[in-house]
């Protein structure tokens, strides 16, 4: 064919696709980093954990190690520490502006969200340890949303046992009152405790949170929103109390695999305890247990992920994207 210009990069070619992705990133609210690029932000941040501590902090089936701490979490703790210091400076300036007495203290609240089996608990525990070991030695507390689930008795009465972990299975009022009390600097605020052994909220069991510098608040649906009333009345969300939010992300197929693997391992460990709520699953055959795990994933956890958890991902300030080996491969940080 003679005459005219030839398009050397037709749609669908590698270069055209790269340009399309570049344009998409240009208009995204996030900046994207590979794990190696993200690791450079740690600079001279010292590693304050050892291998034994990492083993203690990681959840079942989570292979996090010291190298992953260096690659991802040192940079993250440095970033969060900078955010906390900036927030504290702003708080002091506001006190001066309003001529306050300076006795108050507003904790910095970090929310961590993501699916079951994706590694939220490990991330929360590791961050708690790293942040508490910064030179300023801030007081860091960790609370999970499990304790704010409605009791099994209430869930059964309301027909919600099969929707445990869905937004409607939580005592939202208690969640909001707890976070409001924390944010207002109240002393000795109580959070209810949950037992994964009995699969229920522990009656009359609490942990007290006494004005920490940082509170890490972890749960699958902490970024969830609700319908906004047309009359303009204020409707608080749990995430309204967060200063920074993190979403632990992975491909749905990977989370499915991790969930099944964890269930089968628990069948050989925690489920063997006669007091365990799921003790009955330790008695069935491996094939039956696998079928049960697949059913629980398909009918409960997958639906919750698709309908409630994943849609909240764009609300996070930071997204940690995991690969097949459970290690983080990409970091997305919201642009300032």
The response to whether 117 counts as a known ligand-binding position is: yes
Tallying the residues shown for the chain, one arrives at 336
Q: What is the 3-state secondary structure (H, E, C) of 152-179?
A: HHHHHHCCCHHHCCCHHHECHHHHHHHH
The response to whether 195 counts as a known ligand-binding position is: no
Distances (CA, A) of 218 to 41, 120, 167, 221, 244: 24, 7, 14, 9, 12
The response to whether 116 counts as a known ligand-binding position is: yes
CB of 322 within 8 A of CB of 331? no
The rounded distance, in Å, linking the Cα atoms of 24 and 112 is 26
The response to whether 205 counts as a known ligand-binding position is: no
Distance from chain centroid for Cα 227: 22
Q: What is the 3-state secondary structure (H, E, C) of 88-100?
A: HHHHHHHHHHCCC
The response to whether 136 counts as a known ligand-binding position is: no
The response to whether 159 counts as a known ligand-binding position is: no
CB of 216 within 8 A of CB of 124? yes
- Say how many C-beta atoms besides its own lie within 10 A of residue 189's C-beta: 25
Both tokens of 147, joined, read: 């304790």
The response to whether 120 counts as a known ligand-binding position is: yes
Which residues does the annotation place in the binding site for ATP?
Answer: 114-121
Which residues does the annotation place in the binding site?
Answer: 114-121
């Amino acid at each position: 064919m003679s005459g005219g210009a030839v398009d050397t990069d037709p749609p669908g070619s590698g270069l055209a696709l790269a340009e399309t992705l570049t344009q998409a990133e240009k208009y995204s609210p996030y900046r994207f980093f590979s794990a190696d690029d993200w690791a450079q932000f740690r600079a001279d941040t010292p590693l304050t954990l050892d291998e034994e501590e990492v083993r203690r902090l990681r959840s079942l089936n989570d292979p996090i190690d010291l190298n992953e701490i260096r690659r991802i979490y040192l940079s993250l703790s440095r970033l969060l520490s900078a955010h906390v210091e900036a927030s504290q400076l702003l708080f002091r300036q506001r006190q001066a502006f309003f001529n306050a007495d300076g006795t108050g203290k507003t904790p910095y609240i970090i929310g961590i969200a993501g699916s079951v089996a994706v590694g939220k608990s490990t991330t929360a525990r590791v961050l708690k340890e790293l942040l508490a070991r910064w030179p300023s030695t801030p007081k860091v507390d960790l609370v999970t949303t499990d304790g704010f689930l409605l009791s099994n008795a209430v869930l059964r009465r309301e027909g919600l046992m099969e929707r445990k972990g869905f937004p409607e299975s939580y005592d939202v009022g208690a969640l909001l009152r707890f976070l409001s009390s924390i944010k207002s600097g109240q002393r000795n605020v109580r959070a209810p405790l949950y037992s994964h052994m009995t699969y229920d909220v522990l009656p009359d069991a609490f942990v007290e949170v006494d004005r920490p510098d940082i509170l890490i608040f972890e749960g699958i649906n902490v970024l969830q929103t609700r319908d906004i009333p047309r009359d303009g009345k204020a409707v608080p969300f749990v995430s309204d109390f967060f200063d920074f939010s993190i979403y632990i992300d992975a491909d749905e197929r990977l989370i499915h695999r991790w969930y099944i693997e964890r269930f089968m391992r628990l069948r050989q460990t925690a489920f063997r305890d006669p007091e365990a709520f799921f003790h009955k699953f330790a008695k069935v055959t491996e094939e039956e247990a696998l079928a049960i795990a697949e059913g629980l994933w398909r009918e409960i956890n997958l639906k919750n992920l698709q309908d409630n958890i994943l849609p909240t991902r764009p609300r996070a300030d930071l997204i940690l994207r995991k690969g097949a080996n459970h290690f983080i491969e990409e970091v997305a940080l919201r642009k300032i």
